[in-house]
Amino acid sequence: MPYFKSKTGTETLQLFYEDLGNDNPIVFIGGWPLTHQMWEYQLTPLRELGYRCIVYDRRGFGKSDQSLNSYDYDTLAEDLKNLLDELDVNNATLVGFSMGGGEVVRYCSKHACERVSRIILVSSVVPYMLETGDNPDGVPLETFREFDQEIRKDRPGFLANFAKQFYGIGFFSHPVSAGIVEWTNSLAFTASQKAMLSCAESFSQTDFRNELSAITVPALIIHGDEDKTVPIKATGEVAAKLIKGALYKVYPGAPHGLFFTHKNILNRDIISFISAGVVDENDILEEGYEILPGNEPLIIRDGEQE
């Protein structure tokens, strides 16, 4: 199995990765508490179209070594840099889902988007998840404290409930099968408890607002307006305003786990953005997009579902 060595500080870990394909490299950074396998429904169709798709397991998750101490974003961004350097990747598109959006932004702010030609933030925690006086739409600290307590007390029970919110499952809403929920939980179970706890602290309390000006490459931001895990008002909406020239797309009705619930739309938008840098104007007009007044080129999708 392929591994790369990531040396950060005094620690060297073996991190698992996959690298298949030849052209147009796309590096996918997964969300908490999942592994590289969450991207299954992106990897197969994009690889079939000839894209080079690279995925890896964050330290402490999946097949990667776990750290006993370092899960802050500086360290996680260095893991990403070590991967790009090891594989000598250039002109890459970085796709960061949820927590993975933080790695994308921290990497760009520390390394001037080296080796990167564009970024895509999907359901991302960027720029700031925590509710504070100047971030009133964030998630209360008490919620994250409850996460911590529940993970320590009954991690499988926590994950079972978390998956329902993740995919927007309710009494009358069943957007995914029981099999998808079981699959999602099986990926999360591979994480160490330490990694889950430490990464939750990192993504919930890291403020990226002053780093978004470092994004100097084209950026696409995608978020669902029914995301109950990462509130859109504190994240996607703010990021779209702070990243200069960002293209912003809202999927109506989409929950946090839109990489599965809206996979066909997401895959098409990734391909469109990579191949053209922007969404085709004719595509916008045909599908009823609305250009947000006074905030071009931000756009919002109008009611499209799979």
Annotated catalytic residue within 57, 109, 123, 227: 227
Straight-line distance from the first to the last Cα atom of the chain, in angstroms, rounded to the nearest whole number: 35
Dist. CA 259–CA 262, nearest whole Å = 6
Candidates 98, 123, 124, 202; catalytic one: 98
Return the bridge partners of 5, or none.
14
Answer yes or no: 256 catalytic: yes
Nearest to 32 by CA among 179, 147, 170, 174: 147
Calculate helix-pair angle for 178-188, 141-166, nearest 10 degrees: 130
Q: Which residues pair with 94 in a beta bridge?
A: 27, 119
Looking at 36, 223, 256, 262, which residue is catalytic?
256
Distance CA 246, CA 184 (A): 30
Comparing C-alpha atoms, which of 294, 298, 200, 199 is closest to residue 248? 298
Select from 281, 108, 301 the least CA-distant residue to 208: 108
Q: How far is CA 213 from CA 91, 164, 238, 298, in A?
A: 20, 35, 12, 17
Active site residues: 98, 227, 256
